[in-house]
Amino acid sequence: MRKIIVGSRQSALALTQTGHVIDALQQIAASQGLEFEFEVKKIVTKGDRILDVTLSKVGGKGLFVKEIEQALIDGEIDMAVHSMKDMPSELPEGLVNGAIPKRVDPRDCIITRGDKGLDDLPQGAKIGTSSLRRASQLKAYRPDFDIQSIRGNIDSRLRKLETEGFDAIMLAAAGLERMGWTDRISAYLPADICLPAVGQGALGIECRGDDLELLGLLSLYNDDLTATTVIAERTFLAELNGGCQVPIGAYAVRLHPSHSGQDENVIQLTGMVASPDGITMLKETRQGHDPVQLGIAVADELKRRGADQILAEVRG
């Protein structure tokens, strides 16, 4: 019997998605006659300790992941579940992403007071989000909106909708879905209004590269299509040197054969770079077979149209 210690942040979302992954891995192990046992170990990261400070000022999203990665390297834990959108583009020496399971809904959504749709919100409505990507796209769609920063885990953001006088807040549908809170969603934002963050709705499972026993189990949990589309998106982001504090979005899908002349392996990637005020918005959609080449091609096209200048201004 192999025992796997699974490190998790202590937020409700992190613990819930870690629990879902363990359930799925237990089922896969049982169906293969493999003997695995799992135990969750909670880890308080620097990011959690300073959640109410402006994260961009203190080093961005790597903060949530770094201490968990150190625990993996030190052998205190064997495995960790991350949201792909929070996973840095380069893993430390010795660690690998062992599986990208099937993606859930990648869209952003709004939770409004009075359960209104986007177009029913009043002029000048106060919208809570700290994501430049969400803010810029919402501004482009509704320049009258008053977009204000909101921080904290999803449970505390939902509370702030009521206590801090927002008309609406924006969140990833995926987080709410995993928490079982989709009934709170007032409207889903289609990708042509709000392109999701790179990897949104997908998870990644990090472990040591020499843990072949665990990697064997994880390989059975990988979803090839999700992995391929997320690789296209992450290549696009890496080509633009993107992190979480820049207004970049990307979303890749596999085209249905009827749209691609019976070829089942065509991926379509849309990438977006915007100025924070939403006034300049560069978008490109391309199709191809190779996710890495596709990510590079879309990034190159946006650079040709001025993406680097926009990003340089955002980064200051």
Ligand X SMILES: NCc1[nH]cc(CCC(=O)O)c1CC(=O)O
Catalytic residue among 52, 78, 86, 211: 86
Distance CA 147, CA 163 (A): 16
Q: Which long-range contacts (CB under 8 A, 24 or more apart) does 92-98 make?
A: 94/208, 94/209, 94/210, 95/69, 95/206, 95/207, 95/208, 95/209, 96/206, 96/207, 96/208, 96/209, 96/215, 97/204, 97/205, 97/206, 98/205, 98/206, 98/207, 98/214, 98/215, 98/218, 98/219, 98/222
Q: 34 or 158, CB closer to ligand X?
A: 158
Q: 133 or 208, CB closer to ligand X?
A: 133
Distance CA 166, CA 125 (A): 8
Would you tell me which residues interact with ligand X (CB under 6 A)? 83, 85-86, 154, 171-172, 174-175, 200-201
Q: 201 or 271, CB closer to ligand X?
A: 201
Q: 71 or 171, CB closer to ligand X?
A: 171
> Positive or negative, the Cα torsion across 235, 240, 243, 245?
negative
Smallest gap from Cβ 201 to ligand X, in A, equals 5
Which class for 290: exposed (0-12), middle (13-18), buried (19 or more C-beta within 10 A)? middle
Smallest gap from Cβ 155 to ligand X, in A, equals 11
Contact 126, 146 (CB under 8 A): yes
In degrees to the nearest 10, what's the CA dihedral of 289, 201, 196, 269? 0
Smallest gap from Cβ 130 to ligand X, in A, equals 9
Smallest gap from Cβ 305 to ligand X, in A, equals 27
Q: 172 or 299, CB closer to ligand X?
A: 172
Smallest gap from Cβ 256 to ligand X, in A, equals 24
Q: 175 or 288, CB closer to ligand X?
A: 175
Q: Which residues contact 53 (CB under 8 A, 6 or more apart)?
A: none
Smallest gap from Cβ 200 to ligand X, in A, equals 4
- Please indicate whether residue 86 is annotated as part of the active site: yes
Catalytic residues: 86
